[in-house]
Amino acid sequence: MSWLTLPLALRSRLWEHASGEAPRECVGLLGGRGRLVTSLYPLTNVSPHPERAYRAHDLELLRALRAMRAEALELVGIYHSHPHGPPQPSDEDRRLAAWDVPYLIADLRTGTLRAYLLPSGQEIRVDSQV
């Protein structure tokens, strides 16, 4: 996978979640089919250091995955925010990455949204056109 399509309405919801949580990092899942994102699942960041790290609430994560399955969707991405930038993954982001899907990072400082496969760091293009 070298790109992901995130429709504008979902992109707006992602930014709303990110700015609503600032100065804490937000986290959520993206469900869809193939390269197309069709649903966004905001989760609670339960990291003890939410201003510089994220950890999704376990039960919410399971519920979101179950909701996706109920709609025949797959996990197609995981997003979190960097309230103070940069739009690149931190060392901890790479270390804790466990899923083989793009990790999206919303940099609130510059308004930049980027996606990567982790831990490799290969960048994935994020389009808005369906």
Question: Catalytic site residues?
Answer: 25
| Shortest distance (Å) from residue 25 CB to Zn ion | 7
17 vs 73, beta carbon nearer Zn ion: 17
DSSP 13: H
Give how many residues touch Zn ion by CB under 5 A: 2
Q: Which helix (H) or strand (E) holds 19?
A: helix 8-21
Q: What DSSP letter does each residue of 50-99 carry, written as one string?
A: TTT---B-HHHHHHHHHHHHHTT-EEEEEEEEETT--SSPPHHHHHH--S
The answer to whether 90 contacts Zn ion (rule: CB under 5 A) is yes
Binding part of the chain for Zn ion, among 9-17, 69-77, 87-95, 119-127 by CB under 5 A, reads: 87-95
d(CA 79, CA 43): 10
Closest distance to Zn ion from the beta carbon of 69 (Å): 27
Nearer of residues 21 and 93 to Zn ion, judged by Cβ = 93
Q: Which residues bind Zn ion (CB under 5 A)?
A: 90, 93
